[in-house]
Amino acid sequence: MSQTSNTIPRAAVRGMASGVIFMAFFGTLWAYTGVMGLQGWGVPLLLVAAVIIGIALFIGGLLLIRASRELKNQFSKEDLKRGKSIRFWFNIIFAAEGLAIVISIVLCNATRHSELIPLIIAIIVGVHFLPLAHLFQVKLYYFTGTLLCLLAIFTLLFIPEKATLGEYQINAFMSVVGLGSALILWGTGLAILLMGIRLLGAAQNKQTDSRKLR
């Protein structure tokens, strides 16, 4: 996110930390969906691994927030105006995503194609990242959204709905899309965490330099 001054405000770092926490939470939800699709195969090991990864990213986000406390939080009038606009459009995008998911679930159940629900939700989630990429000026979200959409389309075209894994009859749609989406979101969360750490380091260096000049 670009800044209008030489000071990197605390809110910029915390915004990235919030993104990490979101990715940790929703990535773990997708992992749970994927593990449930395996119909018992790999449980509870995979569930434990998913929870550990989610918690690790969540803690990373919290530590980033904690480390940002020492930063200044200076804003220009333009920053405040842009912040309000971002919050407004984020709420609109989030609400549209939720509404689209609800409508999709209702339609899939009504047409007796409930097996398509995880695929359609993955596409909706992927699409919602595209305007977020522009809104937050995070190009990585374009990559995340595209990968989620391609994963769902690939699964629909090339993966059978049901498959046999050893002695288990698994729901391949759920497992492939669930676990694949989890990896994509966790990977995005890790990338954002690293970006946040670099931004934090740059901000701390700027504050140190400004103190030396006084």
Question: Would you say residue 4 lies in a domain?
Answer: no
Q: Is residue 212 part of a domain?
A: no
What number is the average pLDDT over the span 183-195?
98
The whole-model pTM stands at 0.91
- The whole-number average pLDDT for the span 169-193 is 97
pLDDT tens across 103-155, in order?
Answer: 999 999 999 999 999 999 999 999 999 999 999 999 999 999 999 999 999 99
Q: How far apart are CA 88 and CA 92, in angstroms?
A: 6
Distance CA 115, CA 197 (A): 40
Specify if 141 maps to a domain: yes
Say how many domains are in the chain. 1
Instruction: Say if 196 falls within a structural domain.
Output: yes
Tokens in use for 136?
């937050």
159, 166 contact by CB (below 8 A): no
Determine, yes or no, domain membership for 129.
yes
Is 149 among the domain residues? yes
Range of the domain at 39: 10-205
SS3 2: coil
Residue 116 within any structural domain of the chain: yes
For 9-68, the pLDDT digits (tens) are 788 899 999 999 999 999 999 999 999 999 999 899 999 999 999 999 999 999 999 998
Task: Show the DSSP H helices in 111-171 as ranges.
Answer: 117-136, 140-158
160: β partners: none
**Is position 213 within any domain?**
no
Reported residue count of the chain is: 214
